[in-house]
Amino acid sequence: MSILHPDENKGNYYRELWTKYVGRGQQTYTPSQIVVDKAQGVYLWTIDGRKLTDFTSGVLVSNLGYAHPKFETKFKEYYKQLPRNTYNMITPVQVEASKRLIESFGYSKAQKILWAASGSEGIQKAMWSALHRYPKRHIIVATRHGFHGKKGLAADVTGDTSPNPNVRWISFPMGEGYEQDFYEKELNQLWDTHKEKIALLITEPYLGAKGSYHPPKWYHQLLQHWCNEHDIPFIFDEVQSCFGRTGNMYAFQTYGVEPDLVVLGKGMASGEPASAVVGREDLIESLDYGEASDTFSGGSSACCAVCATMDVFEEDKIVEHVKKTQGKLQDILMKLKQEFPFIIDVRGEGFVYGVDCITAEIANKCVLEAYYGTGKEGIHFLGPLAKKVIRVSPPLIINEEELDHAYQLLVSAWKRI
């Protein structure tokens, strides 16, 4: 059964055809199922002519908004005359993107890069690097309730159970208020049990997909310290957080750590499929010729998009803009929490928040009513995370007036709930 909306004849036409031809597993469930005709800046226009402020950035991908004029021009300039597939070729732009990404880290362990075409593939390549570097170690440590992807090893370390018998879980702070020694004890027990058999530790800066749980800074510093002490590679999954989301270019800066391997994705290429692992040479070079190769990874279009994105970040001072504007986003979300008792918590940092609702039903209604908005205008959200948490992750270029306007739209829409 297709999702249909009143007074959306064109949209409903495409929704019905989509349901007819495309497997529903292709997308996660979002009650609005927006049909987009065009996109510009922080706005999406539906095929029926309604204007929506985007509060998703796709899925934290379009950090520069849509059809960003400078990005589009630079992307085309970089791409001029290059082959679309660069398998076993090198183009100058691939070298430039690799060098710029490594240098953007600003710490000595950022030495080499491996490219991939999706976040989960990047995670897989990072984990392979550690496992190949230490072939006699087989235990994989992951923080509980993370999301690293749906495929392969990335899926093995997602959630809190694993089909992989080598995975061991440790706790991630989710507002329980435990002190540092609680986590220290778990880590020490793990070391006492497995010692030199531990191949790696993988974590996320914050639990995004689980509903926005952002830990205290000392948590990641503790994990890093334990890894350093026992010579265990510390892998930081920045697929979602990279390129400005937390108010710094990278979340490792926000949390004050220098991981051995960092996995980047999503926003790094403004919509072109790109991800990458950046980190220690001895880990990355443990993979021999071809062991991390595939058809599309690190191709010319991805690298052009990375360079164009980095140009815009530098020239337009995107991170500074986030630092300046993040307080406004937090204010409007806190005001919404005060206004609507069905919001039980607001968690986040920078430009990524979760609005935790009292039930899944209410959270879905919030998404739908925001979509309907005032009729002509509305707000675009994805379906709730962890059943009842609405993620707020607007493009990083949004300004204070646009945020105020979005707030007014949400107040009028959510009064109907």
Ligand X SMILES: Cc1ncc(COP(=O)(O)O)c(C=O)c1O
Binds ligand X by CB under 6 A, chosen from 30, 118, 124, 212: 118
- DSSP category for residue 397: T
Sorted by sequence, the CB contacts under 8 Å of residue 314 that are 6+ apart come out as none
Pick the closest to residue 97 from 284, 285, 300 (CA basis): 300
Residue 208 within binding range of ligand X, rule CB under 6 A: yes
Q: Using CA atoms, how far apart are residues 98 and 82, in angstroms rounded to an integer?
A: 17
CB 400 to ligand X: min, Å: 27
Footprint on residues 393-412 left by ligand X (CB under 6 A): none
Region of 117-125, 163-171, 313-321, 339-347 interacting with ligand X (CB under 6 A): 117-125
CB 241 to ligand X: min, Å: 7
Region of 75-83, 144-152, 254-262, 394-402 interacting with ligand X (CB under 6 A): 144-152
CB 170 to ligand X: min, Å: 17
CB 396 to ligand X: min, Å: 16
Q: Using CA atoms, how far apart are residues 163 and 372, in angstroms rounded to an integer?
A: 42
Residue 311 within binding range of ligand X, rule CB under 6 A: no
Q: Using CA atoms, how far apart are residues 207 and 193, in angstroms rounded to an integer?
A: 27
Residue 148 within binding range of ligand X, rule CB under 6 A: yes
Residue 210 within binding range of ligand X, rule CB under 6 A: no
Residue 297 within binding range of ligand X, rule CB under 6 A: no
Q: Using CA atoms, how far apart are residues 275 and 258, in angstroms rounded to an integer?
A: 19
Pick the closest to residue 31 from 380, 375, 357, 368 (CA basis): 368
Binding mask 242-281 for ligand X (x = CB under 6 A): -----------------------x----------------
Residue 220 within binding range of ligand X, rule CB under 6 A: no
Footprint on residues 330-389 left by ligand X (CB under 6 A): none
# of chain residues touching ligand X (CB under 6 A) = 14
Binds ligand X by CB under 6 A, chosen from 142, 239, 269, 398: 239
CB neighbours of residue 384 within 10 Å: 27
Residue 237 within binding range of ligand X, rule CB under 6 A: yes
Binds ligand X by CB under 6 A, chosen from 204, 260, 311, 369: 204
Helix (H) or strand (E) holding 39: strand 36-40
Nearer to ligand X, 263 or 362 (CB): 263
CB neighbours of residue 314 within 10 Å: 13
Region of 118-126, 195-203, 281-289, 320-328 interacting with ligand X (CB under 6 A): 118-126
| Residue 261 structure tokens | 């391997």
Q: Using CA atoms, how far apart are residues 56 and 60, in angstroms rounded to an integer?
A: 6
Q: Using CA atoms, how far apart are residues 304 and 97, in angstroms rounded to an integer?
A: 7
Binds ligand X by CB under 6 A, chosen from 41, 65, 149, 244: 149
CB 416 to ligand X: min, Å: 30
| Angle at 155 (CA atoms; ends 152, 161), nearest 5 degrees | 130
Footprint on residues 32-91 left by ligand X (CB under 6 A): none
CB 148 to ligand X: min, Å: 5
Q: Using CA atoms, how far apart are residues 376 and 407, in angstroms rounded to an integer?
A: 16
Give the residue at shortest CB distance from ligand X. 119
Question: 366 exposed, middle or buried (CB, 10 Å; 0-12, 13-18, 19+)?
Answer: buried
Q: Are 114 and 284 in contact (CB under 8 A)?
A: yes
Q: Which residues bind ligand X (CB under 6 A)?
A: 118-120, 123, 147-149, 204, 208-209, 237, 239-240, 265
